[in-house]
Chains A and B, each alone.
Chain A
Amino acid sequence: MRRLRFLSATLAGCAALAIATPAAAQFDLGGLLRGAQNAKKLGDSLRKIPEAEEITLGGDLASIILGAAPLIEDPAKQLYVNRLGRWLAMHSERPDLPWRFGIVDSPDVNAFSMPGGYVLVTRGMFERMRNESELAGVLAHEIAHVARKDHLGALQQSLRNSALGGFTEYVSGGGGLAGTFRTALINAGKDMFARGLNKDDEFDADRMGVVIAARSGYSPYGLVGVLQTLSAAPDDKGFALHNRTHPLPVERIERLDRAMGTRLDGVPGLVEDLPSFVALRAPPPVRVLPPPPPPPRRRRDRR
């Protein structure tokens, strides 16, 4: 008990020190890690970090995925996912985050989200969408993870080892508190992207995602169509990371079946596709087609 009290005092002292350093202004680690010898508490504190810090943290995590696959150079598609994604997010519990959506240049099939409202979808995923309600389903699933702060809970596991083990270095190390924490965060983020979130969080995000889609005017069965696509490709390398980090698609379909039944069938006015999305999916003809040959008659004229 006395030892514990001493530790708390030390931690509080470190926290005070952290607040006094300029680096700490970027990241209130003192507040974050106060009493953080208990990993559970760190997880709780992470979920409670102020929104501005959550957005900074999410941006650092997004930059990892962007380092593996950059944004595609297609302003029309990027604008489209942002309008759709923002509209969906407005029907979640966190409509006012600075939501940002992006399509990243990878043929693999996956989607990622980060704290603070970052959602990234691969080109491979985007190209497999049968209709707009499927894209809405994917984005809504990711939005649900952000709204629930699932990532912050998942980061706890990795940060326990790296951040807590080296806690005093964070606050007293010469490299700067924010920089050191950022390194630990990047590693924890890579762990999270490679291992995935909690399986139960995935099922919950599926159940929330179909409702967010339906609230926004889209068929909730779009996500089901995507899960069917995923169920057809168990051994495809392009699906490998997604499949390793998520529960089996068939199990997700079965769980959704149990939750949905026909409960959302009577919702009026839901759409599966929109002409603007059909047009967006079509390749621009100019890129596909060779230039038309000159009419033969004119050639004869030239001669």
Chain B
Amino acid sequence: MVRAFLLATLLLVPVGYAQAAEKGLVIRAGDLMAQPFIDAAKTGPVTPNQPVTILERRGGWANVETGGRNGWIRLLNVRLEPRPATAATGQRASGPSVSAITNPASLLRTGSSGRTVTTGVKGMDEEDIRNASPDPVQLLRLGTLGVDAATARAHAQKSNLKENALGYLDKGRGR
């Protein structure tokens, strides 16, 4: 019974993870909106570096809680609060790392000391790249992974992805 409960809990992890609340900071002055629309009612101002808790992301909007108020701000107006440098690299940005469960060794890699505990998990810093020997066998394997356009299109259609004809963006104006 306990095991069955554990099974249920573990299976829920990846689903719950996407909804995990994240701590963020407002980038520039703006307004909290009642709804995720540009012409929605404004429910109060936000100021630079104001802490927010991100409850949900929806397209270009984030539903946040800040100073006891709840509302929507542009996703592009939020950066995440820096995590403590001690956070293990095996950890996800939010919520428990599923890989850390399947691969506890990844938790041993620390970020605080700038050193890597020997775990057999390979990091990839500048030094690793400088010391790397080109691996032709891996390159051959990579060559076998590619799919053709027809396969990609069939999969996209199965997934109901909608194509859009859009031009590239220019740099835009400063605020």
Interface residues of chain A, those whose CB is within 8 Å of chain B, are 59-60, 62-71, 78-79, 82-84, 86-87, 90-91, 95-96, 98-102, 104-110, 118, 120, 122-124, 127-128, 130-131, 186, 190, 193-194, 203, 207-208, 210-211, 214-219, 221, 224-225, 228-229, 231-241, 244, 249-250, 253-265, 267-274, 276, 278, 281-283, 285, 287-290, 292-293
Contacts and interface: CB of A to CB of B under 8 A. Distances in A.
A63 B80 contact: no
Contacts of B153: 87, 90
Contacts, number: 292
Interface string B114-129: 1010000111111011
Given A83-B151, A283-B102, A258 B146 contact: no
A236 B83 contact: yes
Contact of B82 (A104, A106, A127, A232): A232
A193 B131 CA distance: 12
Contact of B80 (A203, A229, A285): A229
B128 to A, nearest CB: 5
Given A128-B92, A270-B59, A87 B142 contact: no
A289 B10 contact: yes
Given A69-B124, A87-B153, A78 B145 contact: yes
Given A108-B123, A232-B80, A237-B116, A211 B142 contact: no
Nearest to A242: B124
Contacts of A208: 168
Residue from B97, B122, B142, B147 having most chain A Cβ neighbours under 10 A? B142
Contacts of B156: 83, 87, 216-217
B89 A237 contact: yes
6 contacts: A63-B134, A90-B152, A232-B82, A244-B126, A250-B27, A282-B13
Given A86-B148, A237-B114, A262 B38 contact: yes
A182 to B, nearest CB: 9
A86 to B, nearest CB: 4
A235 B124 contact: no
